[in-house]
Structure 1
Amino acid sequence: MIPIKELLELATTKRASDVLIGVNLPPLFKVDGEIIRSEFRPLGVEECQNLIFSMLTPKKVEEFVKKKEVDSSFGLNNLGRFRLNVHYQRGSVACAVKIVPNLIPDLENLGFPGIVKEFLKQKFGLVLITGPQGNGKSTTIASMIEEINLTRPSHIITIENPIEFTHKNKKSMIEQREVGPDTDSSLEALRHVRRQACDVIMLDEMSDLETIEEVLKAAELGQLILSTMHASSSADAIERIIEIFPEAKRNQIAFQLSIALQGIICQQLIPRKDGKGRVLACEIILIDKALRGLIKTGDIDEVKKYLDSGGMKGSISMRKFIEDLFRKGIVGEDSLRKKTEREYDEIS
C-alpha cells in the first residue's frame, strides 16, 4: 500500500490543493485548478479502501460504513492539515483530500486591500465570503479570524465541519467546535452559541434556511458573524439568502438582512500571467445606507443595478480589481477579456 505520508508529502511538494483517490487510477493531484496524475501505480479496490481508511479514525470508519459518506480532518507534523470527504462511487470507496497549510496567511499576503480589515472592526453583523468552490474562501475566513486574534481581545467561536485551519490563542480566546466530536450539527451549535458569551462567530458555510435564520438572529443580538456561501456575485448572495425562504417570509428576512449585513467579499482565483499559479481577484462590497434601503425592499433587480453602478464609497468591483491586476502585469489580457465576456461566472 502507498504510505499516506509519502503521498501527501509529494502532493504538498507539487503545490497541490487537493488529492483525489479512487480505484483503477493512481492518486490524482489538483494543481492550480488542473488535474495531474501522480507517479504512483493505479489502485486496486482493496488497496484503495485501505489507503483511505488509514486516514480515518475507527469511529469515522464506522460512521462511513453506516452512512456511506463522511467528512473528517487530521494533521501531520511539519506537513499541514488535511480535510477529506470519503464516499462510494460505483460500489467502491473514493476520497477527496483538501490540503490545508500549517501557516495561516495574512490578508495582505493573500492579495486583499486594506479595506477588508474594516469589516473586522465591526462589533456585530454579518460578513459574507462568497465565490465558487475551491477558490480560497476557507483560507480567507481563517485569515480574518487570525486578524481579529492578533489585534483585539475577543471571544471567538468557530463552528466547522470539519476543522481545517487550527488557531492558537493570542489576544483573543478561540474555541473551535467541530460537527461530530463537539456538536451534533452546525445548527445546534448556532442555537446554543448565544449563551456562550462570544463576540465573534465563524460558521464555515451558510447552506440552508434554518442556518441562515439562526445567523440573522445572532447578528441582531450583537455578535459579529463571518461565514461563507457558494454564490457567483454579491447580488447573487443577497438574492439566495432572501429567496431560500417561503414567499410569505421574504419581507421579514429582507428587513433582517438589511440590518445585519455589513459587507460581502466575492472572490475567485485566476491564472497569473507568468504561469506560476493563480492570484486572487475579488469584489468587495461595503454595505452603505442606500444599499441597506434596497435590500430592505427585497427588490433584487434594484440591488443589482445599484451594485453595477459602482457608486459605493470604499467598495471595489471585480472588473476594477482585475483591471488593476492587468495594469500591474500580474494577469494577462486573456483574464481581462474573460472578465469582460463574463466567463468568470458573471461576477461583476
Structure 2
Amino acid sequence: MDMEKMITAYPAMTDIHVTEGEPVSIRVYGNLKKLKEKGEDSFFTSLFHDFLGPEKEEEWTRRGSCDGGCTIGTSRIRIHMYHSFGRKAAALRILPSLTALAPDPDREWLEKTAALEHGLVLVTGPSGSGKSTALARILSLISSSRPCHMVTLEDPVEYVIPSDKALVHQREVGIDVQDFASGVRDALREDPDVIALGEMRDSETISAALTAAETGHLVLGTLHTTRAADSIGRIIHAFPADRQDEIRSLLAANLRSAISQRLYRTGKETWLLREILTNIPATAHLIREGKEAQIPSYMEMGLHQMRTMKQAAYGLKGLSEREREKMMKLLEL
C-alpha cells in the first residue's frame, strides 16, 4: 500500500485503518469508506522499518500497542499500532501542514496568546476536536514572531514546528524523554522560554507544569475536557484533598486562558466551535474560592474575547438554522 499515492488520491482523507487480511478503510468528510485493497504483512513491516524503528516495534510486541509519527510528502502522519484478534492493525491520522489549513477564525486570540511571556494556557476538547492543530498554530506563531527557546513534549510528535526566530526542540515521549512529568523537569534545566505539553495526564505532570508557569515560563498544555471551565475542576481534583487549596491558588495566579473546542461536520464542511475563557481578576477569585461553576456566567458577558460554547454555536455564519439546531442537540449545548 502506497500511502503517498493514497493521500494524493483522497485529499480530504483524515484517517486510514489497516487490519491484516481485511479491506483497508479510510475516513473522508467524516464517513468511513472501505477500499478493495487489503492489509498485508509487508505494510506493517515497512511502518517499523521505514518510520517507527525497532524500539517502537519492541514496545508494540511487549505492550500490544504503540504510538509514533512520520512525515510523508507535506503531511504529518500520527500512527497507532495495535492488535485485533491476534492480527496486526494500525490507525493512521493524516495531519495536513499548517499552511494548508484554512485560516483560524480566532486569529486575534491566537496572536495574543502567542505574545504571552509567562503563565499557563489550556487547550481542551474531546479526541478529534483539533486540539493539536490549535496548539501547533500558537507554537508556529511564537516561532515566527520572537526569538525564544521552545521545548515541546509530545506523544507522538504531530506537527513539526519550524525554527524561524525561535529555537525549537520537539521531544517525543518514549524516545527522547521517559514521560511528560520528567520531560517538564528536564526542560526547566534547558533554559526554556516556552514549554508545550501534548497532554497533561496526571497530577505529577500538572504539578510540574504549574511550577514551570509560576517560575516565569509560558506553558501550554492540552486536556480532554469538553468545557473550558471544567478544565479547572479536572486539574484541581487530580490532586488529593490536602493539596487542592494550594493548586487553586496556583491556578488562580498563573492561568492566563483556557479554550475548549468541538468539531461538527455537515457533508463536506467542518465547523469549529471554540469556547474561550480569559482569567480576569473576577474569575481568578472564583477559582480561589472554589466557585468555578460560576465562571460560565462571566464568559457569557463577552468581556476579553470570552464566550461559551453555546455562544460560539450561535455565532457560526453560513450554517442553516435547522442544521444549527441539529448540531446543538448532538453536542448537548
Describe the superposition over 1:15-65 as per-residue Cα deviations: whole angstroms up to 9, x where unpaired: 11111112453111122332222242x44xxx2x43123112233212211
- Secondary structure, aligned partner of 1:162: coil
Q: Cα 1:4–1:271, aligned 2, differ >3 Å: closer, same or farther?
A: closer
Does the 8 A contact of 1:80 with 1:100 survive in 2? yes
Does the 8 A contact of 1:130 with 1:231 survive in 2? yes
1:66 corresponds to which of 58, 62, 76:
62
Query: Partner of 1:336 in structure 2?
Result: 324
Indicate the percent of aligned positions where both proteins have the same amino acid: 30
Query: Partner of 1:37 in structure 2?
Result: 34
Letter in 1 for 2:24: P
Query: Partner of 2:89 in structure 1?
Result: 94
Letter in 2 for 1:3: D
Q: CA deviation at 1:284?
A: 1.3
Bigger share in strand: 2
Q: Kindly indicate whether residue 190 of structure 2 is the aligned counterpart of residue 196 of structure 1.
A: yes
Q: CA deviation at 1:8?
A: 4.2
Letter in 1 for 2:58: E
Query: Partner of 1:293 in structure 2?
Result: 285
1:259 corresponds to which of 253, 258, 264:
253
User: How many Å separate the matches in 1 of 2:100 and 2:207?
Assistant: 31
Task: Give the count of matched residue pairs.
Answer: 329
User: How many Å separate the matches in 2 of 1:101 and 1:190?
Assistant: 28
Does the 8 A contact of 2:296 with 2:308 survive in 1? no
Query: Partner of 2:272 in structure 1?
Result: 280
User: How many Å separate the matches in 2 of 1:340 and 1:9?
Assistant: 34
Query: Partner of 2:155 in structure 1?
Result: 161
Q: CA deviation at 1:114?
A: 1.3
Does the 8 A contact of 1:288 with 1:312 survive in 2? no
- Secondary structure, aligned partner of 1:55: helix
Query: Partner of 1:303 in structure 2?
Result: 295
Q: CA RMSD in A?
A: 2.1
Query: Partner of 2:131 in structure 1?
Result: 137
Greater CA deviation, 108-117 or 279-288?
108-117
Q: Kindly indicate whether residue 17 of structure 2 is the aligned counterpart of residue 20 of structure 1.
A: yes
**TM-score normalised by the chain length of structure 2:** 0.91
**TM-score normalised by the chain length of structure 1:** 0.88
Describe the superposition over 1:288-315 as per-residue Cα deviations: whole angstroms up to 9, x where unpaired: 11000001112333334444x4353321
1:167-246 to 2 correspondences below 5 Å: 167-246=161-240
Q: Which stretches in structure 2 are left out of the alignment for 5+ residues?
A: none
Q: Which stretches in structure 1 are left out of the alignment for 5+ residues?
A: none
Describe the superposition over 1:193-236 as per-residue Cα deviations: whole angstroms up to 9, x where unpaired: 11111111111111211111111111001100111111110121
Query: Partner of 1:119 in structure 2?
Result: 113
1:40-55 to 2 correspondences below 5 Å: 40=37, 42-43=38-39, 47=40, 49-55=41-47
